């Protein structure tokens, strides 16, 4: 296909530039995958990300089919100082994987998984979704930690940390990474592991998309019964205090194999509910004993916890969270559920469903890794607290967003740091969030991305 004319684009600093048609043509001819621009049939689909509130128009979309496509795209963008967005599964809630006027490096077409059952490893491409890993590994009785919605991208989730239904049992997604092949800002394909570029390997475990484009990961897999004991235990809203007190007091001492995520929601009829999703991933014979203390809290009105294939359970929220949703959220970690926090949560629990409050559990194996052992520093977190407002309809969201912000203003004082995969922040807060790890991250950034080509993330500013 012939490039008709020059292309207007935007640099990382926000300046407008014009790229000659010949240079764009050369890029297009050098790629195995397609180069999409406004007007191409596939362009509008490719620029869409999960959150329908995001509507951005990159000047160029490179749909990479391999490491050489990525290297060419990265070098082209760096030579022209273009604004760059990197897309894996497209789930960045704030829309960091697409950009206005720059280059989108789209990895979504590059998504094979290869499981080695003998070595208990999985090689996972940079555009894979979480469900790709579960579907390939569970038939061998093996898993690694993946997120709770199967169409979330493995790369984005893992680079920022990666919580899931078995993270207390097997560690966060990033803790299970043995090796990463990555194209850094100079266009070089590098290997990061304990033995090669160990500084980069450390930084990729929680430092987000700051350091390059991941071609593939090697994950450690763990033996696990492909059938888990899982489901929801539900209480009426007026018992939410008892449930939250139990969660706060006993959450950290529960067995690693038990994961509890809590949602304070409302029924369509306007009744408040507190719902605990319980997943027991250990020996089935010990499930009853492990779940008994939770079942003794108050008087549950429903209990669906039963044996279920893990890979199937991993998709249970896929449809509710389908692409094209209008989503707005605030989130941060909590180290404890103090009585002050519980009071606020109960006061903010709404019966009209404008937003819901969610706690995703940490602890267990997550907390047994030191805060400086990986770039992800929040190892003492009890859970990740979120206030989420979502709609599948396009409508004026002003009031809903204001409600989330106002709830958050009351909850935020009880939080410590935030999860870079869910929240964005100004430079000062990003520095504080990484704490003792920030200066070490800056050194790695200076070495592998001194020009800050990869800036659409919780950005580590280079000082080189
Ligand atoms: P994208 O939007 O494609 O990418 C986000 C960022 O990741 C990009 O800006 C880029 O910086 C980086 N990135 C993506 N691919 C690459 C690559 N190949 N190389 C380099 N950088 C790359 N988080 C959890 O920990 N656990 C959960 O259970 C969980 N559930 C979620 C469910 C939903 C419905 C949503 C919307 C989010 C969830 N998250 C969860 C948060 C999730 O971890 C982040 O949204 C993450 O960024 C998603 O990655 P992605 O590849 O889909 O996103």
- 8-state DSSP, 12: T
Give residue-wise pLDDT tens across range 370-381.
Answer: 999 999 999 999
Beta strand pairing status for 189-193 and 326-334? unpaired
**Mutate which of 97, 105, 389 to test ligand 1's pocket (most atoms within 8 Å of Cβ)?**
97
> DSSP readout, 270-282?
S-EEEEEEEEE-S
CA-based nearest residue to 147, from 167, 127, 117: 167
The Cα angle at residue 218 between residues 119 and 229, in degrees rounded to 5: 75
d(CA 240, CA 259): 18
Residue located nearest, by CA, to atom 21 of ligand 1: 209
The minimum-distance atom of ligand 1 relative to the CA of 51 is 36
CB 151 within 8 A of CB 345: no
Tokens of 68: 């050489």
Q: List, chain by chain if needed, residues with CB within 6 Å of any ligand 1 atom.
A: 49-50, 86-93, 96-97, 107, 126, 147-149, 152-153, 155-157, 159-164, 208-209, 213-214, 321, 421-422, 456-457
Tokens of 359: 């706690």
CB 448 within 8 A of CB 198: no
d(CA 209, CA 460): 10
Tokens of 378: 């929040």
Residue 428: the pLDDT is 80
Residue 424: the pLDDT is 76
Long-range contacts of 291-297 (CB under 8 A, 24+ apart): 291/229, 291/258, 293/246, 293/250, 294/233, 294/246, 294/260, 295/233, 297/235, 297/239, 297/242, 297/243, 297/246
d(CA 234, CA 351): 15
d(CA 212, CA 445): 10
Reduce the DSSP state of residue 228 to 3 states and report it: strand
The minimum-distance atom of ligand 1 relative to the CA of 419 is 25
CB 203 within 8 A of CB 124: no
CA-based nearest residue to 461, from 435, 436, 430, 432: 430
d(CA 417, CA 168): 20
Residue 1: the pLDDT is 67
HSE-CB at 16 with a 13 A cutoff on CA atoms is 4
How far apart are the CA of 184 and the centre of ligand 1, in A? 19
Which residue(s) pair with 233 in the sheet? Answer: 276, 303
Reduce the DSSP state of residue 49 to 3 states and report it: coil
One digit per residue, the tens of pLDDT, for the chain of length 464 reads 677 789 999 999 999 999 999 999 999 999 999 999 999 999 999 999 999 999 999 999 999 999 999 999 999 999 999 999 999 999 999 999 999 999 999 999 999 999 999 999 999 999 999 999 999 999 999 999 999 999 999 999 999 999 999 999 999 999 999 999 999 999 999 999 999 999 999 999 999 999 999 999 999 999 999 999 999 999 999 999 999 999 999 988 999 999 999 999 999 999 999 999 999 999 999 999 999 999 999 999 999 999 999 999 999 999 999 999 999 999 999 999 999 999 999 999 999 999 999 999 999 999 999 999 999 999 999 999 999 999 999 889 999 999 999 999 999 999 999 999 998 777 789 999 999 999 999 999 999 999 999 999 999 999 97
CA-based nearest residue to 278, from 247, 241, 237: 247
How far apart are the CA of 397 and the centre of ligand 1, in A? 23
**Mutate which of 61, 126, 151, 152 to test ligand 1's pocket (most atoms within 8 Å of Cβ)?**
152
How far apart are the CA of 421 and the centre of ligand 1, in A? 6
How far apart are the CA of 89 and the centre of ligand 1, in A? 6
Per-state percent for the chain, helix, strand, coil, to nearest 5? 30, 25, 40
How far apart are the CA of 147 and the centre of ligand 1, in A? 10
**Torsion sign over Cα 120, 198, 86, 33:** negative
């Amino acid at each position: 296909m012939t490039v008709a004319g020059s292309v207007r684009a935007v640099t990382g600093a926000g300046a407008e530039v014009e790229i000659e048609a010949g240079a764009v043509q050369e890029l297009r001819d050098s790629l195995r995958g397609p180069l999409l621009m406004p007007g191409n049939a596939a362009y509008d689909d490719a620029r869409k990300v999960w959150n329908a509130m995001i509507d951005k128009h990159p000047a160029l979309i490179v749909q990479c089919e391999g490491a050489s496509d990525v290297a060419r795209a990265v070098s082209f963008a760096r030579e022209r100082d273009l604004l760059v967005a990197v897309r894996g599964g497209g789930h960045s809630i704030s829309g960091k994987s697409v950009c206005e006027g720059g280059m989108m490096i789209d990895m979504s077409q590059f998504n094979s998984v290869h499981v080695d059952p003998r070595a208990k490893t999985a090689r996972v491409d940079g555009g894979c979704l979480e469900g790709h890993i579960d579907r390939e590994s569970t038939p061998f009785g093996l898993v690694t930690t993946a997120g709770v919605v199967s169409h979330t991208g493995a790369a984005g989730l893992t680079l920022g940390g990666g919580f899931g239904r078995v993270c207390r049992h097997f560690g966060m997604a990033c803790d299970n990474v043995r090796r990463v092949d990555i194209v850094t800002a100079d266009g070089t394909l590098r290997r990061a592991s304990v033995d090669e570029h160990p500084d980069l390997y450390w930084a990729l475990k929680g430092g987000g998309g700051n350091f390059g484009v991941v071609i593939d990961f090697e994950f450690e897999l763990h033996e696990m019964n492909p059938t888990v004991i899982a489901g929801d235990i539900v209480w009426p809203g007026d018992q939410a205090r008892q449930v939250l007190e139990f969660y706060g007091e006993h959450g950290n001492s529960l067995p690693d194999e038990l994961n509890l995520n809590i949602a304070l929601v409302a029924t369509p009829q306007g009744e408040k509910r507190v719902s605990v999703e319980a997943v027991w991933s250990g020996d089935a014979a010990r499930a009853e004993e492990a779940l008994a203390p939770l079942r003794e809290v108050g008087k549950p009105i429903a209990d669906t916890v039963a044996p279920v294939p893990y890979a199937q359970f991993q998709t249970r929220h896929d449809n509710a969270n389908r692409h094209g949703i209008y989503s707005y959220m605030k989130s941060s970690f909590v180290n404890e559920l103090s009585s002050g926090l519980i009071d606020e949560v109960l006061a903010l629990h709404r019966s009209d469903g404008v937003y819901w409050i969610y706690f995703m559990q940490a602890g267990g194996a997550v907390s047994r890794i030191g805060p400086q052992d990986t770039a992800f520093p929040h190892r003492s977190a009890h859970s990740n607290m979120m206030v989420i407002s979502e709609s599948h309809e396009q409508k004026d969201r002003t009031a809903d967003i204001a409600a989330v912000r106002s709830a958050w203003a009351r909850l935020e004082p009880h939080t410590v740091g935030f999860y870079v995969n869910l929240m964005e922040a100004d430079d000062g807060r990003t520095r504080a969030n990484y704490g003792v790890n920030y200066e070490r991250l800056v050194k790695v950034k200076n070495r592998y991305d001194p020009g800050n080509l990869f800036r659409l993330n919780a950005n580590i500013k280079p000082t080189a």
